[in-house]
Amino acid sequence: STACYSWKLIWKSWAPPRVKFFHWLANQDRCWTAERLAHPGLQHHPRCLLCDQEPETIRHLLLECPFARKAWHEVLAWLRIPA
């Protein structure tokens, strides 16, 4: 098996504790998305509530959703990092 030490980058970062915790949960695929709510049979909306185009997964919410892409574009522009 391969070891993943991304947790070191998460917990040693300068981010506030709540951001570190969310990043750790997302990295572990433990965020309560519709995809995750479906497994134990909990009630959920099957599509992303922001764009209503794709199933709600953590990958979609953070990277693929048009709203997330716009947010990342704005952050990169604010930091003056070319997209």
How much of the chain, in percent, has pLDDT values that exceed 90? 46
Is residue 14 one of the residues assigned to a domain? no
Report whether 61 contacts 55 (CB < 8 A).
no
CA dist., res. 23 & res. 15, Å (int): 10
Report whether 13 contacts 7 (CB < 8 A).
no
Q: What is the mean pLDDT of residues 17-37?
A: 88
Is residue 76 one of the residues assigned to a domain? yes
pLDDT band at residue 74, thresholds of 50, 70 and 90? very high
Is residue 23 one of the residues assigned to a domain? no
Is residue 49 one of the residues assigned to a domain? yes
Is residue 60 one of the residues assigned to a domain? yes
Q: Phi, psi at residue 44, to the nearest 5°?
A: -160, 160
Is residue 36 one of the residues assigned to a domain? no
For residue 69, what are the domain limits? 45-83
* Domains held by the chain: number: 1
